[in-house]
């Protein structure tokens, strides 16, 4: 009986590890969470105002959503395709007591409507941004801000870039088209 239980636990642990390693290949970009320090810098950088709606593309463990709600008074929505990360972030949101201000959607970024976003938080690769942004720019409201971490939107000029060139802020009201070079 004990050997069976140990075997079951070992198989479960191996499957969980496989999902962490193989999951990104199945569900999109590798997961590299933003540090707490960089997260605070990012939300300060975009001058987020209480009551605004932040949408995090590929919300992972929910850390951006939780910080946005707790520290800045934002309403936050996370879009995440990986069911394990959806479960983890939902758990963390409940544990932090912000479930009234944070909503997590298990969805593909390409099948999501971004029309309600005041701030779009983007920590995606250039390849993902290139594919996704023509659609997103059509949907965003004219006053929306796009905050990119580490990867800029190629073909668009940011309104603001931080000193170490890891934060790029764009405002939708410029009417710019993405990927103008194509």
C-alpha distances in Å from residue 26, one per residue of 19, 23, 29, 108, 141: 9, 5, 9, 12, 31
Looking at the predicted structure, is the pLDDT value of residue 55 above 70?
yes
Please tell me whether the overall predicted TM-score, pTM, comes out greater than 0.85 for this model. no
CATH number of 31-174: 3.40.50.150
Quote the CA–CA distance of 85 and 123 in Å, as a whole number. 15
Q: What are the domain boundaries of the chain?
A: 1-29, 31-174
Mean pLDDT within 115-129: 95
CA neighbor of 60 nearest in space, from 27, 14, 18, 95: 27
List Cβ<8 Å contacts ≥24 apart for 175-178. Answer: 176/137, 177/134, 177/137, 178/130, 178/133, 178/134, 178/137, 178/153, 178/154
Contacts of 35 (CB under 8 A, 6+ apart): none
Mean pLDDT within 150-174: 91
| Residue-level pLDDT at 8 | 72
> Which structure tokens are listed for 135?
């659609």
DSSP, res 57: E
For the ranges 143-147, 160-164, 175-179, the lowest mean pLDDT is seen at 175-179
Quote the CA–CA distance of 92 and 2 in Å, as a whole number. 32
Higher pLDDT, 38 or 17: 38
CA neighbor of 109 nearest in space, from 87, 72, 91, 134: 134
Residue 3 — very low, low, confident or very high, per pLDDT cuts 50/70/90? Answer: confident
Looking at the predicted structure, is the pLDDT value of residue 125 above 80?
yes
Q: What is the DSSP pairing of strand 119-122 with strand 102-106?
A: unpaired
| Residue-level pLDDT at 6 | 74
Quote the CA–CA distance of 41 and 27 in Å, as a whole number. 28
Residue 1 — very low, low, confident or very high, per pLDDT cuts 50/70/90? Answer: low
Looking at the predicted structure, is the pLDDT value of residue 24 above 60?
no
Buried b (16+ CB within 10 A) or exposed e, 40-50: ebbbebbebee
Residue 165 — very low, low, confident or very high, per pLDDT cuts 50/70/90? Answer: very high
Higher pLDDT, 32 or 117: 117
| Residue-level pLDDT at 63 | 97
Looking at the predicted structure, is the pLDDT value of residue 21 above 80?
no
| Residue-level pLDDT at 25 | 47
CA angle 107, 111, 114 (to 5 degrees): 95
Looking at the predicted structure, is the pLDDT value of residue 153 above 80?
yes
């Amino acid at each position: 009986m004990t050997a069976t239980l140990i075997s079951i636990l070992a198989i479960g642990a191996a499957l969980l590890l496989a999902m962490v390693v193989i999951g990104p290949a199945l569900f999109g970009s590798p997961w590299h969470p933003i540090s707490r320090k960089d997260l605070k810098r990012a939300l300060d950088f975009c001058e987020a105002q209480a009551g605004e709606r932040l949408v995090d593309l590929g919300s992972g463990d929910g850390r951006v959503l939780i910080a946005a709600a707790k520290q800045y008074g934002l309403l936050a929505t996370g879009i995440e395709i990986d069911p394990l990360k959806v479960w983890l972030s939902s758990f963390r949101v409940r544990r932090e007591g912000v479930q009234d201000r944070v909503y997590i959607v298990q969805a593909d970024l390409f099948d999501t409507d971004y029309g309600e976003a005041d701030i779009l938080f983007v920590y995606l690769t250039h390849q993902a941004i290139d594919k996704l942004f023509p659609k997103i720019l059509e949907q965003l409201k004219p006053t929306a801000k796009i905050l990119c971490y580490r990867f800029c939107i190629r073909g668009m000029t940011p309104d603001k870039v931080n000193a170490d060139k890891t934060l790029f802020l764009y405002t939708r009201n410029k009417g710019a088209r993405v990927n103008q070079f194509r």
